[in-house]
Amino acid sequence: MPAEFRYKIVMLGDGAVGKTAMTTRFTQNFFDSDYKRTIGSDFAIKRLTLEDIDAKVTLQVWDLAGQPRFESVRQGFYRGARGGLLLYDVTRRRTFLNVENWKEEAFKNLKNEIPIVLVANKVDLEDSRVVAPEEGEEFAKKNGFIYVESSALTGENVEEAYANLCRTMIEGTKNSDQSKAI
């Protein structure tokens, strides 16, 4: 019998880095280029099987539109989150520089430091790329984050990003029943 886990996770990062596109790709397996701005916050549910560690995970993926105006919205967004995907757009350096701010904002709003996957998104736009892989890797290493390069457009490494986060969350909660807390 596979072990069952349930986690709430949050999508972090500047506007237009691909948070909604990646969530949609992962939970519904399509890329909807007509999808416009996320209104407020919302979540999608996805079940994932990790055969190598014989685990089944139910993920509640929370997506938020930019910086919410109301503190209460932001608190609700972060409440109970057990992991995060922090995205930037490899074609816009500003979104990479802001990763530091997102990290601080998240840890300020959470009781504990949670596992984070740093996601360098839009790697399909190789010709417009301005943030090199080494820069992302170095930032991730320095902060103890997992580093993944992805494209929500092609689907490259999308499932891997979520699966890697799951593995880390499971490692951190083995032998406890905290994962049932959402």
- Which residues of the shown chain bind ligand G3D in the complex (CB under 6 A)? 13, 15-21, 33, 38, 121-122, 124-125, 151-153
Amino acid at 109: N
Cα-based distances in Å from 85 to 45, 54, 118, 175: 15, 23, 6, 24
Rounded-to-integer distance, Cα 18 and Cα 174, Å: 31
Do the Cβ atoms of 98 and 119 come closer than 8 Å?
no
- Partner in contact with 151, chosen from Mg ion, ligand G3D, none, beta carbon below 5 to 8 Å by kind: ligand G3D
β 81-89/116-121 pair status:
parallel
Residue closest to ligand G3D (Cβ): 18
Site string for Mg ion, 35-74 (x = CB under 5 A): ---x------------------------------------
For Mg ion, which is the closer residue by CB, 5 or 88? 88
* DSSP at 18: S
Counting contacts by CB under 5 A, is residue 20 touching Mg ion? yes
For ligand G3D, which is the closer residue by CB, 53 or 130? 130
Question: Which residues of this chain interact with Mg ion, rule CB under 5 A?
Answer: 19-20, 38
